[in-house]
Amino acid sequence: MAERVVVHEVGLRDGLQNQPRIVPVEGKLELLDALIAAGVRSIETTSFVSPKAVPQMADAAELCARIPRRADVNYEVLVPNEKGYERAVAAGAPTIALVLAATDTFNRRNINMSLDQAIAVCLTVIARARVDGVKPRVYIAVAPACPYEGNTPDDVVFTLAARLFDAGAAEIAVADSIGAGNPAQIGRLFETLARRHGPERLAAHFHDTRGLALTHTWVALQCGIRKFDSSIGGLGGCPFAPGVTGNLATEDLVFMLNEAGFETGIDMMALRAAVGVAEAKVGHPLGGRIMGWYRSQEQRQAAKANAN
């Protein structure tokens, strides 16, 4: 039996958050339906952040109210603080995600808190979530490197992870938020974290800024990691990190995993249709590297058919 890998779709949140065209609730629901039809079963749908800071997420409560409830789909929302947590719980979110950057400067730019303040907020929200029966997931952002402070020391990530797990975090997603990591660095982080805390409690979140996201995925797979974040069409990029391009494209991740013999439960043809839906909503071309290969194969087959 093929080994299962969970593909956690973040396009509706991380992918749309800095798009210039506001995608209305109806458009987000259409994209959500397309992703579910393709077999995606773990989805970060929105974030309860300030509408002034991130206008794309202003409809978070309405979207949560209209999401189709399915026992086989895990829905998650991002919260930046206690107020966001309270809004998410009121909207019925079963899983919340927090973002804790590994550096002081990135926390200040991202959520207007120092590192110590951000840690305190995370620990408080985790404790509240455990009492409320809500699953708390935490991103350790800029784990390999920060756009403001440079390379992040491995020990900083290890210390933060230990504190978060000790506080009750159900899962930690180690995030290369600006795509600045390298394979050796990613291997060190995941090998150590998996040995100390168990690979089943970890996930990976890679950006493809320098074209290394799939390489990093493969390295993490060798460390036992079986859950990966990705964004349909490669949508994404942090609005608080200059020069950052999109996330790892879901279609690239799924193609590689399926080809390598892992079980994702996701159909590539249906996933390509979801890329088309995402393109229509944001108003510009999308697609990971594998989309060009598919197009070339189709053109080749069409030319062959015409020749006959």
In the chain, domain spans: 6-307
d(CA 2, CA 44): 25
Report pLDDT for 238.
56
Residue 59 scores a pLDDT above 60: yes
> Exposed e or buried b for every residue in 162-177, given b needs 16+ CB within 10 A?
eebbebebbbbbbbbb
Q: What is the pLDDT of residue 245?
A: 65
Least confident of 201-205, 240-244, 245-249, 270-274: 240-244
**Worst-scoring range by mean pLDDT, 148-162, 173-187, 294-308?**
294-308
List the catalytic residue out of 122, 146, 223, 238. Answer: 238
DSSP string, 40-63: --EEEEEE---TTT-GGGTTHHHH
238 is catalytic: yes
Residues 84-126 have pLDDT tens digits of 999 999 999 999 999 999 999 999 988 889 999 999 999 999 9
Query: Span 282-290, mean pLDDT?
Result: 92
Question: What distance in Å separates the CA atoms of residue 46 and residue 28, rounded to the nearest whole number?
Answer: 10
Percent of the chain with pLDDT over 90: 87
Average pLDDT over residues 249-258: 98
Distances (CA, A) of 250 to 21, 183, 247, 292: 21, 20, 9, 14
CATH fold for the domain made of 6-307: TIM Barrel (3.20.20)
CA dihedral 178, 180, 185, 186 (to 10 degrees): 40
Q: What is the mean pLDDT of residues 2-16?
A: 96
Contact 83, 61 (CB under 8 A): no
- Nearby residues of 231 by Cβ (< 8 Å), 6 or more positions away: 9, 10, 11, 14, 15, 246, 247, 248, 249, 250
Q: Which residue has the tokens 């309270």?
A: 86
Residue 159 has pLDDT above 80, yes or no: yes
Q: pLDDT at residue 28 above 90? A: yes
Give the SS3 label for residue 202.
strand
Count of alpha carbons within 13 angstroms of residue 223, beta-carbon side: 30
306 pLDDT more than 90: no
The residue written with tokens 């990691």 in the block is 225
Return the SS3 of 110: helix
| Mean predicted confidence (pLDDT) in 236-242 | 57
Q: Is the pLDDT of residue 243 over 80?
A: no
Residue 33 reports pLDDT greater than 70: yes
What average pLDDT does the chain have? 94
Residues 176-186, mean pLDDT to the nearest whole number: 96
